[in-house]
Homo-oligomer: A and B are copies of this chain.
């Protein structure tokens, strides 16, 4: 059993290589089956395209953002929303253009990263 009571004094990490814009993350828990992070996105910030062999759960904790799949699904997500990206389903998520967004991300299996989400795709996903 893995239990995280929060982080005491550990620095947050700025995420750059596979993200666009300003994103910071705290690792919450790291078990063989799952990697759990709290992630904050400033307005316009978002992940690159990615997928997880075992799927990914997002629990939105603040703000307003977007999740989109390669197949063309687009969802506006706000505080309290819960999202399950199925195993292997390519997607991205991030903040809206005018809003921060924070979520807990539970990733099953090693993340497979694709390319950046371009301005056209990002703009098309805005509400």
A residues contacting B by CB (< 8 A) are 1-6, 28-29, 31-34, 36, 54-55, 57, 59, 67, 69, 73, 75, 77-78, 80-87, 89, 91, 104, 106
Residues of B within 8 A of A77 (CB): 3, 5
Cβ-neighbour of A1 out of B33, B84, B106 (below 8 A): B84
Q: Secondary structure of the A side of the interface?
A: strand
B31 A1 Cβ-Cβ under 8 A:
no
Cβ-neighbour of A86 out of B1, B75, B104 (below 8 A): B1
Known pairs A3-B81, A6-B81, A75-B1; A31 contacts B106 (CB<8 A): no
B57 A1 Cβ-Cβ under 8 A:
no
Known contacts A1-B67, A3-B82; 13 further A-B pairs (Cβ under 8 A): A1-B73, A1-B84, A1-B86, A1-B89, A2-B86, A3-B83, A4-B81, A4-B82, A5-B77, A5-B78, A31-B84, A33-B84, A34-B55
